[in-house]
A and B are shown apart, each in its own frame.
Chain A
């Protein structure tokens, strides 16, 4: 089955840029989605289809995907961005949806 690998944690100072990676075999051939989850809350879609943003998501959130790595970039990080972030793809070969293990973003 398809595996997505994320770093367990990323730390960043307020106002700086955070980059969260998601590794997978030829992930560049898949559409990657990113979800933000704060404690006790349901996940929220922040980036879909590699780099598109749902309405209401700040432009500070952006995504890219190429080769074996997809990246969620959060610019001008704010304290309110502190959360767990998950990448996701649809594995067409198995018709299964796959999540990465999640990355805890800490704002210092």
Chain B
């Protein structure tokens, strides 16, 4: 059974840092692109970042570029999101999601999310 489990969320002051993790199981982790998607309280889904299977290619939404870094450890089947210079508007539930390897690369499995709260 495919599972994605996020952790690392919490409360942080503006300007602070946090590292999220996403532990994967039930599939060959290294062969899939993985994404981070966030959802502010009461708002819609927003794509944040993605990384390819071997970690050699990444991309970011403009709102987080230069502040967030996505990475992965395929030996540990784990995805990371290092978040620096956090702002109040980064407050959200952060989901990791697996992208299908074909077609339009839809997100076929999602974790339950981890909440990040940025506030003074």
| Interface residue ranges, A against B (CB under 8 Å) | 1, 30-33, 35, 37, 41-45, 48-50, 52, 54, 84, 86, 88-90, 95-102
Contacts and interface: CB of A to CB of B under 8 A. Distances in A.
B104 A33 contact: yes
Contacts of A48: 100, 103-104, 106, 108
Contacts of A37: 45
B103 A43 contact: no
Given A43-B95, A48-B100, A48-B103, A99 B47 contact: yes
Interface of B: 35, 37, 44-47, 50, 59, 61-62, 95, 97, 100, 103-108, 110-113
A37 B110 CA distance: 11
A45 B104 contact: no
A105 to B, nearest CB: 14
Contact of B113 (A42, A49, A97): A42
Nearest to B96: A42
Contact of B111 (A32, A42, A101, A102): A42
A88 B37 CA distance: 12
Nearest to B61: A96
27 contacts: A31-B106, A32-B104, A33-B104, A42-B95, A42-B110, A42-B111, A42-B113, A43-B37, A43-B97, A43-B110, A45-B106, A48-B103, A49-B103, A49-B106, A52-B103, A86-B45, A88-B45, A89-B104, A95-B59, A96-B59, A97-B47, A99-B44, A99-B46, A99-B47, A100-B44, A101-B44, A102-B44
